[in-house]
Each structure stands twice: as structure tokens, then as C-alpha cells.
Amino acid sequence: MRHSFSYEIRNHPGALQSLKHQLEDTFFVQQRDPAVRSIVLLVADELVSNLLKYGFKQGSEQHSRLNITLDDDWLEIELRDNGQCFNPLIYAKPSTLSGSLSEREVGGLGVYLVLKLMDETRYEWIEPWNCLTLRKRIGERNR
């Protein structure tokens, strides 16, 4: 069975919480798999929060859209925004993954974890859009 979700993300203080409420009220009602839920919430927490913090400029007419498609075999998450060109796949790995937390640089680990979790990742700049597509196999035979 195929499920889809699409949501326009606006730059305001409650944007991430609004997205999560919409996911609860629509997508998660249709799709109850806890693994899918965890992946979608991790992507929202890490990638959407980073977009809201760093990708949008106050007072600008920037747009972002989160699209989720789920079928029997794949979960696909696409995040599009018309902010400054930025490829998270290039900067995804933190400078160090070893050592204590106090010795490591702050930031970058969440995006890295999201990307490592996925089976396929793709970034494209289609002016004026950053287009990040994440795919995860979810079918029983693919786990």
C-alpha cells in the first residue's frame, strides 16, 4: 500500500512542532510501523531543524517542502528549499567521531547519523532549489 505526505514548512518558531503535529494527525495515522515513525521523526528533528536554524533568512521569501512517500519496499523522504545552495552530503561527516564529547566539535553528528541510516541519498541543485532525497528499504525481504 502506498502512503504519501506533503507539508510546506514555514519559517516561524513553532514550525518544527507544527510539522510533527501534522505528521501525527495524518501520516502516522495511516502508517503505524515504529521503524518508519522513528526514521521520519529523526529526519524532521535533524534536517528540518537545521534548515530552520541555518537555511532560512529572517524576512525573506524562502520556501521549503517535505514530501514523504511510503510503499511496500521503500520509504522516500524529499526535502526541498530555495535557500542558499548547500549540499549536506559533502559536509555530513563530523571532523572526528572519536574522543570524548568534551573534545569534539559541536554540530554535524545528527545529519551524519541520518545519512548513515539511509540506503540511498541524493542531492541536486535545481535552481533555485536544494533537493535532498533520502531512501530507506523497509520491505521485509530488504532488511
User: Mind listing the pLDDT tens digit for each residue in 74-120?
Assistant: 999 999 998 888 898 887 666 666 666 566 565 568 888 899 999 99
- State the residue range of the domain holding 98: 3-142
What is this structure's pTM?
0.85
Domain count along the chain:
1
Q: What is the CATH number of the domain that holds 63?
A: 3.30.565.10
> CB-hemisphere CA count at 13 Å for 57?
5
Name the nearest CA neighbour of 82 among 122, 55, 59: 55
- Residue with grid cell 572519536, as numbered in its chain: 98
Amino acid in position 35: A
* pLDDT for 15 beyond 50: yes
